[in-house]
Each structure stands twice: as C-alpha cells, then as structure tokens.
C-alpha cells in the first residue's frame, strides 16, 4: 500500500553523531582468532607450491583436470582419481585494477588482479592471482602469463610463494 | 586416488586469521530511553501495553503478544526481588576470581521479564530466591547511560 | 502439481533505508512487520508461522541473529525459521514462506527481512573477508570489490561493452529512487558523473555501487482461502526458483550467471511462462552494482546474452518503457540492507501489480512481475514471479 502509507518508520542518524556523542551506543570488538586447516587437497597443493610447481587433481569420469585441486569431483560427485602437475603458465581470463586497499584507503601502486586459466588444466580452470612487471594499461584479455616464484628458501607453502604472474611471449612457453 | 597422508605434522597446512571488525550497537528507541532514565533519574522504567496490560522490563518498543507500539512508560522504582541467582568463581578465561561474584535475575513486581545484574553487600550463602533487593546506583557524575550505571543490587535491610 | 495450495501476498511493509538508523535490529524488524500486518488487515494472533531472512550475523554483530530478531518479527511462541543464502536471501525468504503455506501446513505466514550493517565498522566490507577462500584468496589481500570488478570486466570484454553503456543503469535507478519514499540515494546524475567518479577497482567506480544500509521489509502471505476472505486484490506467488553454483568461482566463465538462468527457468515453468520478455510486465533484478542489473536481465532470459545494455540505451527498461526494470530505484537508489533490499524488490512488484506504487507506478496495468536476488561468491540466484 505504498501510496496509502503516509510515513515510513526509521530514525535516521549520522555516523558523525557517534563521534560527537549525540547517539549513545555500546562498542565491542570480538576477541576471536581462527586457524583454518588447509585440508587434504590444499595441503598437497601448498607443498607443491613450495617446490615451485602447480598441481591439479583429475577425474577420469568427466576427464577434467581441476585447479585448484580438490579431493572430489563436484560434477560427478566421486573421489578424484589422482594428482597431475600442470604448468605454471596460463592465460588471463579476466582482470581488474585495484586502486584501494581493504579498508577503502587509496594505494599508491595499483594492484592488478586476474583470474588466470592454468595451462595443462581443463579449459576455464583458473586461479586468482596478481599480475606484475607490466603497466596496468597494457594488460589484455587472453594475455599469456607465467608465474614468478619467490626463491626456494623464501617459500613457505603459500599461494604467495608465487609473487605474481608476468606476461610472456607465446613462443617462449 | 592416492590421497597420500602428510605424515609429518609440521607439514600440516593452516592459515591464521581473524575478522577485522569492530561493532557499535545503538541502544534503539526503547533502550535509549531506558538507559537514559537510569542515567538522569536513577530509576528503572518498564514499557506498558495498553491493550494487554503487560509491563515489559527491560522495556520494549512493541508488545510481543499483540504487536502494539508501546508508548506508555511506567516507573518500576528501584526495588526488585531475586528470581534466580548463580555464584561465579571463575572469570571468562577460566581463571579463579579473588572474590566470587553473584549474578542474579531480578524481577520487578508483576512486570514481564527482569534484569540480569550483580548482587553486592551480601555473601553468597546469605542470598535466597525471593530475597528483596534494591538497586545501588553510581553517583550521577559517573553515570554514562549504561546498565553498569547500576553498580549492583543489594539486599533491602 | 506445484504445492497443494495457491499462495497470495496480502500486505507489505518497509522502513526507511539509511546509512545509520537508530532502531535496533529487532525494532526495525517490528516496524516493517507491523506495517505489513496493518496493510493486510490481520493481527499478530492471526499469523501462524514466521519466516525471517537476514544476511551474515557479522553485519549486525549479533550471533544467533535469527533467534535475536524473533520477537521483533512477531515470532515468539510460533513456528519460526531463519533462512540465509547470502545476498539471495531477500528473495529467498518469501520463497521459504511460500512453501510453508503451499504445503498446506499453514494458512498465514509473516515474512520479515532485516539488516543493520552500520553496527559493523569501519566498513561492513570487513565482515566479508572470511567469505573468500582462506588458503587461496585471503593471503593475496582479496577485497570484496575485486571479485565484482573481475566479473564486470569479463562481462564487458565478452560483449565488447563500454562503461557508458553500463553507467546508464546507475543513472536510471538513482533517478527512479527519487520517487521512492524510503530511498537513501535517489539522485539526478549523468553518465558523465558515473564515469568521472572515483575509480576503486577498474572497471568499478564509486557510482557503480550501491551503498551499505540499515533497514527492514516484510510481507504477509496467505493461502487462497484466507486471502480471498480478507482482500479483493491478492497478488499471487505463481513461480519460484532458486539455484546455487560452487564457491569455485575462478573455474567458471563469469560473463553469464548460469545459476540465475536455472532458477528463472524453474520459476517460469511453474508459472507457465513461455516467453519471458513478452509475458513479464516489469522486473526487479538484483542490482548491487549497475552491471549486475544487465547481467541478471540476461540470466533471467528477459533478453539475449549481451543485449541488456542495448535495451537500456534504447529506454526499454525505463519506467515508461516496454520492459520496466527496477522501477523502485533498486539497490543502487533505494539502498542495500542486504536481505531487506531483496525483499524491498518483492514489495515493489506487489505494489506495482496492485496499482499502488504512486509516483513510481509503471503504466499499462501490469499483471505479471518478477523479482530476483543474487548472492554469495558469484553463485546464488533466487527468483519469484507474482501475478495479479
Ligand atoms: Zn568428474
Ligand atoms: Zn499487547
């Protein structure tokens, strides 16, 4: 009865009202910390990153080679059939250029983030990572990229063991 | 598949993190008035449904039974009675408290609901269910419009 | 065939949508629920069951938020459930209400959605960090806007779209919202304003995004028997659909929401709709970002893939166009208290079909309308089809 309603409830306040003490409130900061276990598939994946390699799992029923690897095929709903190394190169599926940090503050050097379809995995099997060694204005869809790894002694078994992906010429792959 | 177990526990992978959030809870329409009455006038108020006659404490903006908006406020005084209580010997982290703290649910006459608060000026073994108690307020200049503006409830002599 | 009983909407309620509201979550839920009840002519004692929808507990900062909100939603002492499917919640909640009544178990159901995002600061986006993969995405510093930007860019690339074509959605919806009494961000802006607004995460700019908001919305549902007794103009829930994809969003082509299409086909089949663009008179697709409206129009089969920007350009989606889209002003204009925003869309379709939308009324005596919400990691779609 939108048109028949004379007024809509809601007492508007401004964010500044809190600062200025015009609106009383109770403040609270949760004191919780988390440790997320990586699980079966991710533990192996991260171990392999430490070795400078990307590993996938595959499913013989649908023939998919899956990155990030999982222990089950969500299409066939059965255990994956095994592990398989894939390349550390890929293609930019989509990308974006972030000018802000997590708290919405401006950052000096924009971050290029991309979904990279990994070579050797099934088509469209991408991972999220950053793009480097290129001006953001030069990035293109379909661009070939290759992982830039941290030196072995600095790797800890994390997705950040890959510093970023950098553009490469097709023939050098 | 060869779901090889990683046998070395040091290789157990995990990621540490937390949610970087802070919260700011407004007191709401009824809550703001309730705490303001404690702060300014050192009195405990309830809100009353004209239709059902129910008096709610802490006061609500609406009647849970009939959904009327509650405009009528009732001064409940500062005296109540212990409805139930517990004696805490450990703090939130599980450490032994120097002095046990008595927490009670205090009701006010026929009002629906009650307040959870501490009991003071009384030993655990002296408390009894049904014991009349009265609110002890902080001095006006220390009151901030919080439930802790009431220091505790103490037995009525 | 589809459920035992036909289900009608017989009343709707809505609070203001604002960046900060003083009311507690319970009080907001109460205001919307009470308004919907008053509009339906029913009283709380006539309500047999209550379904609550509200997004993550981390926004309100209240664990067991469904339980916390129950008395404000009029649920004390009644069968009650809280449902949650991320951003899809607002349209999913009346779907859950529908099956409560369609099953024959209840004759009346109060549906309430609430969100109080202002509790969480400095920005509710922080509460979102844990939706991302803890192992693969969070260590990279992933923010909420990244994922939208990646999807938007892929959509633009696939259909060779320019930002101006997408910005028109923000212009339209903020303008529509000027006529909405609850709107937070109604405004007359231009395509240039959008293109000149701060670039946050290319291609996402400040004016491409809906705000964060506090607010609540509610509906009263009734079985056919009850509805016919209490109103001459019930609005029927004739189609429902919902669908989820996995959280492995980097494994699918983001240019098209297959899960929305699946949900839409389910709803169309139930409503007997063969030709959606012809048979749907107005639609409220989910528009937390301007491109999302276009994306969802396509997923809802209201046009061909990649055609939504053209229809927008031609004015087809304006309130007086052939296929009005987001006549309310949408999330971009009215505001985005997540679950309440989705239900606001259902309220809008309800008011439009009853001819009660006032200044927002779309011409042509609309008979069939659709609302849709989207949620989670580019993975959830919920669709409802209403008929007069
Ligand atoms: Zn398979
Ligand atoms: Zn009452």
CATH of the domain at B42: 2.40.50.140
Count of domains forming chain B: 1
Distance CA(C385)–CA(C285), nearest Å, equals 11
Domains and CATH numbers, chain A: 39-172 (2.40.50.840)
- Using the beta-carbon criterion (under 8 Å), do A100 and C143 form an inter-chain contact? yes
Which A residues 130-149 touch C at CB under 8 Å? 130, 136, 141
| Phi, psi angles (nearest 5°) of residue A26 | -110, 130
Q: Closest Cα of chain C to B99: distance in Å?
A: 30
- Using the beta-carbon criterion (under 8 Å), do A98 and C200 form an inter-chain contact? yes
Q: Which helix (H) or strand (E) holds A106?
A: strand A106-118
Neighbours of chain B (3+ CB pairs under 8 A): A, C
Residue with tokens 């202002």: C118
Q: Which residues make Cβ contacts (< 8 Å) with residue C379, sequence separation at least 6?
A: C244, C245, C246, C247, C249, C259
- Mean per-residue pLDDT over chain A, rounded: 92
- Is the residue at B11 inside a domain? no
**Cβ-contact C190, C3 below 8 angstroms:** no
C224 has pLDDT over 80? yes
- Is the residue at B13 inside a domain? no
C113 has pLDDT over 90? yes
> How would you class C235 by CB atoms within 10 Å of its CB: exposed for 0-12, middle for 13-18, buried for 19 or more?
buried
Q: Residue B6: its pLDDT value, please?
A: 46
| Phi, psi angles (nearest 5°) of residue C160 | 55, 55
- Is the residue at B3 inside a domain? no
Q: What is the per-residue pLDDT across A129-166, written as a single tens digit (0 to 9) for each?
A: 999 999 999 999 999 999 999 999 999 999 999 999 99
Q: Closest Cα of chain B to C193: distance in Å?
A: 32
Residue B148 belongs to domain spanning: 26-155
Q: What is the per-residue pLDDT across C130-161, written as a single tens digit (0 to 9) for each?
A: 888 888 998 898 888 999 999 999 999 999 99
3-state secondary structure (DSSP) of residue B137 = strand
Complex-level ipTM: 0.91
Whether the model clears a pTM of 0.90, i.e. scores above it, the answer is yes
Calculate what percentage of chain C has a pLDDT beyond 70.
99
- How many angstroms is it from B62 CA to the middle of ligand 2? 8
Q: Would you list the DSSP string of C95-151?
A: HHHHHHHHTTS-SEEEEEEEEEGGGEES-GGGGGGGGS-TTTTGGGT--HHHHHHHH
B157 has pLDDT over 90? no
- Using the beta-carbon criterion (under 8 Å), do B17 and C134 form an inter-chain contact? yes
Distance CA(A5)–CA(A60), nearest Å, equals 61
Provide the angle, in degrees to the nearest 10, between the axes of the packed helices C163-177 and C144-159. Answer: 120
Domains and CATH numbers, chain C: 7-121+211-387 (3.40.47.10)
Q: Which residues make Cβ contacts (< 8 Å) with residue C299, sequence separation at least 6?
A: C256, C257, C258, C259, C260, C261, C264, C381
- Is the residue at B16 inside a domain? no
């Amino acid at each position: 009865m939108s048109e028949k309603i004379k007024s809509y409830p809601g007492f508007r306040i401004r964010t500044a009202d809190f600062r200025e003490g015009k609106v009383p409130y109770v403040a609270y900061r949760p004191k919780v910390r988390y440790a997320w276990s990586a699980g079966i598939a991710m533990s192996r994946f991260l171990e392999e990153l430490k070795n400078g390699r990307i590993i996938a799992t595959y499913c013989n029923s649908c023939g998919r080679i899956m990155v990030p690897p999982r222990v089950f095929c969500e299409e066939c709903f059965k255990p994956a059939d095994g592990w398989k190394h894939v390349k550390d190169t890929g293609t930019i599926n989509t990308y974006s250029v972030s000018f802000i940090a997590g708290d919405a503050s401006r950052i000096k050097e924009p971050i290029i983030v991309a979904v990279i379809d990994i070579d050797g995995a099934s088509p469209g099997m991408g991972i999220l990572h950053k793009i480097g060694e290129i001006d953001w204005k030069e990035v293109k869809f379909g661009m070939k990229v290759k992982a830039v790894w941290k030196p072995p002694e600095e790797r800890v078994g994390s997705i950040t063991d890959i510093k970023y992906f950098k553009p490469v010429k097709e023939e050098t792959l | 598949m060869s779901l090889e177990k990683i046998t070395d526990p040091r290789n157990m992978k995990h990621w540490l993190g937390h949610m970087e959030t802070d919260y700011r809870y407004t007191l709401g329409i009824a809550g703001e008035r309730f705490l303001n009455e404690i702060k300014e006038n050192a009195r405990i108020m309830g809100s009353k449904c004209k239709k059902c006659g129910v008096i709610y404490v802490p006061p609500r903006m609406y009647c849970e039974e009939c959904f009327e908006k509650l405009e009528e406020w009732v001064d409940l005084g500062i005296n109540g009675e212990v409805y139930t209580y517990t004696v805490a010997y450990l703090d939130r982290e599980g450490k032994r408290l120097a002095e046990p703290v008595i927490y009670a649910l205090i009701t006010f006459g026929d009002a629906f609901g009650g307040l959870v608060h501490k009991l003071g000026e009384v030993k655990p073994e002296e408390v009894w269910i049904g014991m009349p108690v009265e609110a002890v307020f902080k001095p006006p200049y220390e009151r901030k419009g919080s439930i802790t503006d009431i220091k505790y409830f103490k037995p009525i002599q | 065939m589809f459920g035992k009983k036909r289900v009608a909407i017989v009343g709707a309620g809505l609070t203001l949508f604002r960046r900060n509201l003083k009311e507690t979550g319970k009080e907001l839920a109460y205001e919307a629920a009470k308004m919907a009840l008053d509009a339906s002519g029913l009283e709380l004692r006539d309500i047999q069951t209550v379904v609550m929808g509200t997004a993550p507990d981390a926004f309100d900062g209240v664990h067991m938020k469904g339980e916390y909100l129950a008395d404000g939603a009029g649920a004390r002492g009644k069968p009650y459930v809280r449902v949650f499917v991320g951003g899809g919640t607002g349209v999913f909640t009346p779907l859950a209400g529908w099956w409560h009544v369609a099953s024959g178990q209840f004759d009346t159901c109060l549906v309430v959605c609430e969100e109080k995002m202002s509790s969480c600061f400095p920005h509710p986006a922080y509460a979102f960090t844990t939706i991302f993969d803890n192992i693969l995405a969070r260590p990279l510093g992933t923010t909420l806007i990244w994922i939208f930007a990646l999807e938007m860019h892929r959509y633009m690339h696939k259909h060779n779209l320019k930002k101006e074509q997408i910005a028109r959605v923000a212009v339209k919806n903020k303008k529509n919202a000027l006529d909405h009494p609850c709107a937070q961000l109604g405004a007359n802006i231009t395509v240039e304003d959008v293109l000149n607004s701060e670039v946050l995460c290319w291609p996402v700019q400040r004016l491409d995004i809906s705000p964060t908001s506090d607010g609540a919305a509610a509906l009263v549902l009734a079985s056919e028997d009850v509805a016919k007794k209490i109103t001459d103009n019930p609005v029927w829930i004739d189609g429902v659909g919902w669908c989820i994809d996995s959280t492995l969003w980097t494994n699918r082509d983001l240019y098209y929401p297959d899960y929305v299409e699946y949900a839409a086909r389910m709803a169309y089949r139930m409503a007997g709709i063969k030709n959606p663009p012809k048979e749907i008179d107005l639609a409220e697709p989910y528009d937390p970002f301007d491109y999302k409206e276009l994306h969802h129009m396509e997923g809802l089969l209201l046009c061909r893939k990649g055609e939504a920007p053209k229809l927008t350009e031609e004015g087809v989606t304006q309130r007086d166009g052939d296929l009005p889209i987001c006549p309310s002003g949408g999330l971009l204009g009215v505001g985005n208290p997540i679950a309440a925003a989705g239900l606001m869309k259902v309220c809008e379709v309800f008011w439009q079909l009853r001819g009660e939308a006032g200044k927002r009324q779309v011409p042509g005596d609309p008979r069939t309308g659709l609302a849709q919400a989207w949620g989670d990691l580019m993975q959830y779609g919920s669709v409802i089809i209403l008929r007069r």
